[in-house]
Amino acid sequence: MRAVGDQKINLSNVAVGYARTLVNASTGRVSAVDVFLHVVIPVALAAGMFAFWPLDANTMQRASSNMVTGASIVSSLMCGVAVMLFQLRTQIASERGFASRGERRLIDETYYDVLWSVVVGFSAVALIVVGDFVSHLSPCAWKALVAAAIALVANMAMATCMGIKRIAAAYEIISKVWDRAGNGDNPRS
């Protein structure tokens, strides 16, 4: 077993957790629709942008700046959501019988969707920043980095939407548990 210190910058567990969310809940198999929305469309968008590059350099520079701003804001907000989901999961783990296995799974999958959106958002920002440094040295490399950032931003949008959908589902479940517990003010009353 590897020590925790060996894993300081390894985010593979986040990627694996996110990949596990791209399944059909009723069959447990990989969802072709989810893979299409989360992987195929972003990659096709990036490939199209790289191949056909419809914008002039100044317009693309402004668009890149806007992507940095948007991705940074959304990623930062999703960090806050991840903290709240972590707290909720910790609370559920400490209270036996408070949530079913399916409810815990929903919260776990939501957590990984949110973490993934943070990772790809910050990664997109990093690619754009690096692209700005190489834009004068190699326009082709700059185009490739910006196109890859576009793919990450598109994937981030899909992961964020899926996370929001799951947060809404978790809220519905939790509100029903609170309603079953009594007056709706305290689940333990």
Contact 35, 155 (CB under 8 A): no
Predicted confidence (pLDDT) at residue 78 exceeds the cutoff of 50: yes
Side chain identity, residue 78: M
Q: What is the mean pLDDT of residues 138-147?
A: 87
Percentages (nearest 5) of helix, strand, coil residues in the chain: 80, 0, 20
How confident is the model at residue 179, as a pLDDT?
65
Give the residue from 80, 78, 104 showing the smallest Cα distance to 177.
104
**What are residue 135's phi and psi, to 5 degrees?**
-60, -35
- The whole-angstrom separation of Cα 69 and Cα 83 is 22
How confident is the model at residue 184, as a pLDDT?
47
With H, G, I as helix, E, B as strand and everything else as coil, classify residue 172. helix
**Furthest-apart CA atoms within the chain: distance in Å:** 66
Q: What is the mean pLDDT of residues 55-78?
A: 85
- Answer with the residue of higher pLDDT: 147 or 179: 147
Binned at pLDDT 50, 70 and 90, residue 140 comes out as confident
Predicted confidence (pLDDT) at residue 17 exceeds the cutoff of 80: yes
- To the nearest whole number, what is the mean pLDDT of the chain? 84
14 contact partners, CB below 8 Å, separation of at least 6? 112, 115, 116, 119
> pLDDT per residue over 87-130, tens digit each?
888 887 787 666 777 788 888 899 999 999 999 999 999 999 99
Predicted confidence (pLDDT) at residue 188 exceeds the cutoff of 50: no
Which conformational region is residue 53 in: left (phi greater than 0), alpha (psi within -120 to 50 degrees), or beta? Answer: left
37 contact partners, CB below 8 Å, separation of at least 6? 158
How confident is the model at residue 106, as a pLDDT?
86
Binned at pLDDT 50, 70 and 90, residue 55 comes out as low
> pLDDT per residue over 42-54, tens digit each?
999 999 988 887 6
With H, G, I as helix, E, B as strand and everything else as coil, classify residue 30. strand
The pTM of this model reads: 0.82
Q: What percent of the chain has pLDDT over 90?
A: 44
